[in-house]
């Protein structure tokens, strides 16, 4: 019994059992005694572990404290060395902390500012306290980020980037503000200088564009006379010795016109002014146009011109058909120009098709002189030709391919070339075109589509009013109109044109746009608005040396049906006038 655990002993004493019972339950008591002893030793072990853990906890805690102290020491060192201002502010907008950068930025000592309102020290660009920089009274105010110009103590200005954020307590209440002030004067000045330089550049560009457009107008007007008169003289049975000179005159003036047009187009694309149109068009009509432009030139050179498209292609697409025609015209014109015998072919195939779009590949192949390997990159540059004697031999400006390349880039495409000297060249490009929902869409009769003209068509007796102020242009157009036996009237300004329409009935009006007294736009509008119902439908076409997109867009606003560009080739003009009459009588 003496060897039992003290708690068992205490309980046996309380139970006061006789010796016989004790002997009887002795084995059981031994087991209980063992359980008590084991429990004791377990308890000691747990106590040991607890003690150890609390010691470790204490040490970790101590280490953490040391770390925090060292981090906050480092932080205040960082804040002290940082170039930007770091601050804290109470809810009333008084500075409660400012790092040393504050002094460098403002010239105010930190200790003189703490506890005082921010605006006593932050000035606006006039040097007045910036009282309404922060709207502290707004209940939802959370953050602020503002860039402003501030006048400094020395009267100079600095650009400051000021940001601030509300500090919240654990319970979510606003306790104050924390923020930064960064001196961004250098960045801002660079930015302003850049903006200024850009503005200057765009001014200069605008001036260049205006210059180009005025120059082109000025050049086209006399060119109109030169081209017109050379055509007229050629039609008047010149002597054989005059014929060559007249042909040179005609070709040179037409070449000059191409050059002016190309330079204008090139400039427009290069300066990003060219926007592609998104309109329904009929691919077949574009190809017919191409065929009719080049049919005669190919025939004159005894070349076969074969234009074919995949017969399964949809008829209509949405895109810029004028620019697509321009690319094809350039490539086919080159192919014919640089080919002496054989053929020029244009193939169009669909290489990808989905419900809404088609990727078309255009392949223009010739059996001409070919392009040497080392010139293949060069010819895509502006004003570049493969050989120095090309201009002499074939003419051209060296701008055509550069324009094609840029137009295709605008259409997210590129121009490919494969060529072998002496065998020929293949230019190809792929464009993705949206399918038009107007499956049978037919463009209005295109007055420039010469296939609509018949041999027997003539302008005899047709009444045309021409509004034109330039004496030379009047002389040229009068000669053509008389030759075609047109019954014409000339009005030398818009107002005279308007008056003439009130007195006479015309089949169409050709309207110069830039005229004294009343310009062509105003005159057209006034004619459309007059009481005569015929004036609502009479074809009015602008006859102008300006071809800018802005002009084309304005035409509709003033009720003008279309634009005929000066200078015009008389044969083209004849066909266009016939086209306009066709259109008039079809409607």
Structure tokens given for 37: 């002893």
Minimum distance, C-beta of residue 371 to ligand ADP, in the bound complex (Å): 5
- Name the segment binding ligand ADP (CB under 6 A); options: 228-236, 368-376, 441-449, 542-550: 368-376
Minimum distance, C-beta of residue 426 to ligand ADP, in the bound complex (Å): 9
Q: Does 163 bind ligand ADP (CB under 6 A)?
A: no
Q: Does 547 bind ligand ADP (CB under 6 A)?
A: no
DSSP at 535: G
DSSP at 4: S
Q: Which is nearer to ligand ADP, 259 or 551 (CB)?
A: 259
Q: Does 106 bind ligand ADP (CB under 6 A)?
A: no
What's the Rg (C-alpha) of the chain?
45
Contact 499, 532 (CB under 8 A): no
Q: Which is nearer to ligand ADP, 424 or 579 (CB)?
A: 424
Q: Does 501 bind ligand ADP (CB under 6 A)?
A: no
The owner of tokens 């035409």 is 555
Minimum distance, C-beta of residue 366 to ligand ADP, in the bound complex (Å): 5
Strands (E), 314-423: 316-319, 343-353, 357-366, 416-420
- Name the segment binding ligand ADP (CB under 6 A); options: 20-28, 393-401, 439-447, 579-587: 393-401
Task: State which of residues 164, 286, 369, 450 lies at the interface with ligand ADP (CB under 6 A).
Answer: 369
| DSSP β-ladder status, 424-435 and 316-319 | antiparallel
Torsion of CA 96, 99, 100, 106, to 10 degrees: -70
Q: Helices 240-270 and 400-410 meet at what angle, rounded to 10?
A: 30
Q: Which residues contact 144 (CB under 8 A, 6 or more apart)?
A: 133, 134, 162, 163, 164, 179
Minimum distance, C-beta of residue 374 to ligand ADP, in the bound complex (Å): 12
Q: Which is nearer to ligand ADP, 263 or 335 (CB)?
A: 335
Minimum distance, C-beta of residue 276 to ligand ADP, in the bound complex (Å): 21
Task: State which of residues 401, 415, 543, 577 lies at the interface with ligand ADP (CB under 6 A).
Answer: 401
425 to 464, contacts with ligand ADP by CB under 6 A? 425
Task: State which of residues 86, 335, 360, 462 lies at the interface with ligand ADP (CB under 6 A).
Answer: 335
Q: Helices 321-337 and 400-410 meet at what angle, rounded to 10?
A: 150
Q: Which residues contact 318 (CB under 8 A, 6 or more apart)?
A: 278, 279, 280, 281, 433, 434, 435, 436
Q: Does 390 bind ligand ADP (CB under 6 A)?
A: yes
Total Cβ atoms within 10 A of residue 358: 20
Minimum distance, C-beta of residue 551 to ligand ADP, in the bound complex (Å): 26
Minimum distance, C-beta of residue 421 to ligand ADP, in the bound complex (Å): 9
- Name the segment binding ligand ADP (CB under 6 A); options: 107-115, 202-210, 345-353, 378-386: 378-386
- Name the segment binding ligand ADP (CB under 6 A); options: 162-170, 248-256, 366-374, 446-454: 366-374
Task: State which of residues 289, 319, 396, 570 lies at the interface with ligand ADP (CB under 6 A).
Answer: 396
- The torsion angles phi and psi of 88, rounded to 5 degrees, stand at -130, 150
Total Cβ atoms within 10 A of residue 484: 18
Q: Which residues contact 305 (CB under 8 A, 6 or more apart)?
A: 291, 294, 295, 298, 332, 336, 343, 344, 345
Q: Does 338 bind ligand ADP (CB under 6 A)?
A: yes
Q: Residue 369: helix, strand or coil by DSSP? A: coil
13: β partners: none
- Name the segment binding ligand ADP (CB under 6 A); options: 49-57, 77-85, 362-370, 474-482: 362-370
Q: Which is nearer to ligand ADP, 189 or 373 (CB)?
A: 373
Q: Which is nearer to ligand ADP, 319 or 396 (CB)?
A: 396
Structure tokens given for 6: 């003290």
Q: Does 334 bind ligand ADP (CB under 6 A)?
A: yes
Task: State which of residues 134, 181, 227, 371 lies at the interface with ligand ADP (CB under 6 A).
Answer: 371
Q: Which is nearer to ligand ADP, 400 or 520 (CB)?
A: 400
Task: State which of residues 133, 223, 298, 379 lies at the interface with ligand ADP (CB under 6 A).
Answer: 379
425 membership: H or E segment, kind and range: strand 424-435
Dihedral class, residue 396 (left if φ above 0, else alpha if ψ from -120 to 50, else beta): left
The owner of tokens 């107008």 is 217
Minimum distance, C-beta of residue 350 to ligand ADP, in the bound complex (Å): 24
Q: Does 368 bind ligand ADP (CB under 6 A)?
A: yes
Q: Which residues contact 214 (CB under 8 A, 6 or more apart)?
A: none
Closest CA to 448 of 283, 286, 558: 286
Contact 252, 240 (CB under 8 A): no
37-40, Cβ contacts within 8 angstroms, sequence gap of 24 or more: 37/5, 40/5
CA angle 248, 252, 253 (to 5 degrees): 120
Minimum distance, C-beta of residue 427 to ligand ADP, in the bound complex (Å): 7
- Name the segment binding ligand ADP (CB under 6 A); options: 137-145, 215-223, 327-335, 479-487: 327-335
Minimum distance, C-beta of residue 362 to ligand ADP, in the bound complex (Å): 14
Structure tokens given for 534: 């015929």
- Name the segment binding ligand ADP (CB under 6 A); options: 50-58, 181-189, 199-207, 381-389: 381-389
- Name the segment binding ligand ADP (CB under 6 A); options: 30-38, 64-72, 389-397, 483-491: 389-397
Q: Does 372 bind ligand ADP (CB under 6 A)?
A: no
Minimum distance, C-beta of residue 397 to ligand ADP, in the bound complex (Å): 4
Closest CA to 472 of 225, 228, 249: 225
Minimum distance, C-beta of residue 160 to ligand ADP, in the bound complex (Å): 54
Q: How many residues of this chain interact with ligand ADP, rule: CB under 6 A? A: 21
**Residues making contact with ligand ADP (CB under 6 A):** 330, 334-335, 338, 366, 368-369, 371, 379, 385-387, 390, 396-402, 425
């Amino acid at each position: 019994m003496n060897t039992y655990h003290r708690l068992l002993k205490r309980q046996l004493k309380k139970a006061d059992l006789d010796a016989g019972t004790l002997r009887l339950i002795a084995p059981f008591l031994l087991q209980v005694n063992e359980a008590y002893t084991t429990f004791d030793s377990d308890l000691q072990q747990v106590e040991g572990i607890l003690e150890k853990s609390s010691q470790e906890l204490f040490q970790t805690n101590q280490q953490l404290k040391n770390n925090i102290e060292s981090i906050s020491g480092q932080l205040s060192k960082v804040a002290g060395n940082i170039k930007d201002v770091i601050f804290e502010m109470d809810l009333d907008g008084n500075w409660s902390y400012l790092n040393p950068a504050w002094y460098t930025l403002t010239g105010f000592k930190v200790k003189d500012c703490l506890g005082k309102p921010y605006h006593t020290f932050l000035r606006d660009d006039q040097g007045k306290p910036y009282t309404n920089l922060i709207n502290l009274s707004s209940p939802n105010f959370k953050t602020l980020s503002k860039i402003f110009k501030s006048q400094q103590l020395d009267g100079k200005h600095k650009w400051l980037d000021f940001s601030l954020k509300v500090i919240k307590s654990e319970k979510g209440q606003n306790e104050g503000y924390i923020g930064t002030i960064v001196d961004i004067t250098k960045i801002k000045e660079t930015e302003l200088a850049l903006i200024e330089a850009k503005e200057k550049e765009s001014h200069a560009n605008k001036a260049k564009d205006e210059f180009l457009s005025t120059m082109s107008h000025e050049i086209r007007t006399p060119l109109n006379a030169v081209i017109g008169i050379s055509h007229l003289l050629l039609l008047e049975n010149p002597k054989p010795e005059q014929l060559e000179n007249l042909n040179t005159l005609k070709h040179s003036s037409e070449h000059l016109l191409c050059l002016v047009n190309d330079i204008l187009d090139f400039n427009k694309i290069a300066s990003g002014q060219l926007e592609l149109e998104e309109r329904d068009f009929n691919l077949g009509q574009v190809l017919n146009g191409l065929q009719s432009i080049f049919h005669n030139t190919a025939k004159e050179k005894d070349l076969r011109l074969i234009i074919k498209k995949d017969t399964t292609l949809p008829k209509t697409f949405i895109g810029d058909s004028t620019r697509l025609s321009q690319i094809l015209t350039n490539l086919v014109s080159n192919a014919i120009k640089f080919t002496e015998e054989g053929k020029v072919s244009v193939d169009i195939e669909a290489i990808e098709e989905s419900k809404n779009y088609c990727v078309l590949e255009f392949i223009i192949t010739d059996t001409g002189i070919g392009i040497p390997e080392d010139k293949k990159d060069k010819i895509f540059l502006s004003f570049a030709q493969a050989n120095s004697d090309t201009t002499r031999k074939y003419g051209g400006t060296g701008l055509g391919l550069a324009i094609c390349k840029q137009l295709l880039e605008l259409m997210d495409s590129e121009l490919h070339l494969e060529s072998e000297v002496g065998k020929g060249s293949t230019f190809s490009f792929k464009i993705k075109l949206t399918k038009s929902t107007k499956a049978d869409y037919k463009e209005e009769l295109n007055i420039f589509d010469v296939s609509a003209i018949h041999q027997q068509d003539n302008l005899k007796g047709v009444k045309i009013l021409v509004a034109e102020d330039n004496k030379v242009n009047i002389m040229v157009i009068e000669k053509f109109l008389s030759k075609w036996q047109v019954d014409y009237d000339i009005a030398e300004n818009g107002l005279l044109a308007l008056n003439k329409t009130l007195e006479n009935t015309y089949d169409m009006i050709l309207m110069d746009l830039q005229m004294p007294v009343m310009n062509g736009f105003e005159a057209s509008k006034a004619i459309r608005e007059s009481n005569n119902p015929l004036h609502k439908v009479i074809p009015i076409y602008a006859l102008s040396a300006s071809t800018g997109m802005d002009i084309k867009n304005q035409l509709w606003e003033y009720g003008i049906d279309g634009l005929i560009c000066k200078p015009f080739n008389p044969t083209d003009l004849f066909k266009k006038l016939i086209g306009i009459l066709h259109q008039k009588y079809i409607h």
